[in-house]
Amino acid sequence: MRLAVKNIFIVCILLCLAACGHAQTSATKTGETEVETAEIQTGDLLTETYFPLLQGKRIGVYSNQTGMAGDEHVVDLLLRNGFNIVYILSPEHGFRGTADAGEAVDNSTDGKTGLPIISLYNIKGGKPDAATMQQVDVLVMDIQDVGLRFYTYYITMCRLMEACAEQGKELIILDRPNPNGMYVDGPILDMKLKSGVGWLPIPVVHGMTLGELAQMVNGEKWLPGGKQCKLTVIECANYTHQRRYALKVAPSPNLPNMKSVYLYPSTCLFEGTVMSLGRGTDKPFQIYGHPQMKEQPYSFTPQSKPGATNPPQKDKLCYGKDLSTLGDEEIISEGLNLDYVIDAYQNLNMGDKFFTSFFEKLIGVTYVREMIEAGKSAEEIKARWKPDVEKFKEQRKPYLLYEEN
CA 40, CA 236: separation in Å to the nearest integer? 7
Does 33 score more than 70 pLDDT?
A: no
> In this structure, how many other beta carbons lie within 10 angstroms of the beta carbon of residue 351?
9
The SS3 assignment for 1 reads coil
Does 329 score more than 80 pLDDT?
A: yes
The SS3 assignment for 364 reads coil
User: pTM of the prediction?
Assistant: 0.88
pLDDT digits (tens, 9 = 90+) for 192-210: 999 999 999 999 999 999 9
Q: What confidence tier does 54 reach under pLDDT thresholds 50, 70, 90?
A: very high
Q: What confidence tier does 90 reach under pLDDT thresholds 50, 70, 90?
A: confident
CB 342 within 8 A of CB 372: yes
285: left (phi over 0), alpha (psi -120 to 50) or beta: left
> In this structure, how many other beta carbons lie within 10 angstroms of the beta carbon of residue 129?
13
- For each of the domains in the chain, give its residue range(s) and CATH number, in order of start: 43-246 (3.40.50.12170), 258-374 (no CATH)
Provide mean pLDDT across the span 313-321.
98
DSSP codes joined into one string, 87-114: EEEE-TTTTTT-SPTT-----EE-TTT-
